[in-house]
Amino acid sequence: IRTALPRWYRYVALAMIHWFLSILPFLAPLLLLIPVGLLASSMPNKATMMMAFVIGWILLTVLSIPVCIWVYCRYALCITASALEGLSVGKALARSAVLSKGLRWKIFLLVAVAYVLQMILLGGLTAPVVPLILHVTHSHGQLPLPVVLYQLAVGFGVVALITPSYGIGYTLIYLDARVRKEGYDIELMMQLSAEVPDAAATGAQPEASSP
């Protein structure tokens, strides 16, 4: 905590940049097609052009989803790299791009499993009040305050329970990447072997000389 707290702003910036880079391939088709949609709405055969615009937008959106996932997995280790190596924002992103290469499928599986587990917990904890929600909504048109508070508490509790698993998983994948690519385990062993003789030499007492 002592080392991480003074750098909280760096981790917040990395989280925001990581999120923005991940959704940028999804937003790019929309931003590019907005002028096309405005142009199509002013043409004589407006209905046909608008239909073509919607189909093109859906197609580009579907094609952008794998790119979003790839970008997310590429920079998923940026906060871990910054926290453990003290890197700046730019260097942490570059470091994540290098370390995640070849291990991005593991990052994807981690995120997918954590997300599915989160949905299962939300569904399981919300299922008991679903009949009440349907009945109250059908009768009064709005949910009572206790039900709303229960849903908010369940959502907060599940997110607070599942979110740390991302950090733990990213740390394990980060260490695995360094072991595979940089021999990090050998480096640690060499550091420990160098520290042990120093500690033994420091703690050794000189033998008493004979009279």
Can you state the angle between helices 89-99 and 78-85, rounded to 10 degrees? 110
**Per-residue pLDDT averaged across 155-172, rounded?**
89
Rg of the chain in Å (alpha carbons): 27
- Return the percentage of the chain with pLDDT > 70, whole number: 74
Within the chain, how many helices (H) and strands (E) appear?
8, 0
**Interatomic CA distance for residues 138 and 126, integer angstroms:** 18
Residue that the structure tokens 């189909």 belong to? 55
Coil, strand, or helix at residue 87?
coil
**pLDDT tens sequence across 81-133:** 998 888 888 999 999 999 998 889 999 999 999 999 999 998 888 887 777 77
Please tell me whether the overall predicted TM-score, pTM, comes out greater than 0.85 for this model: no
Q: How far is CA 200 from the centre of its chain?
A: 44
| Angstrom distance (rounded) from CA 201 to CA 138 | 79
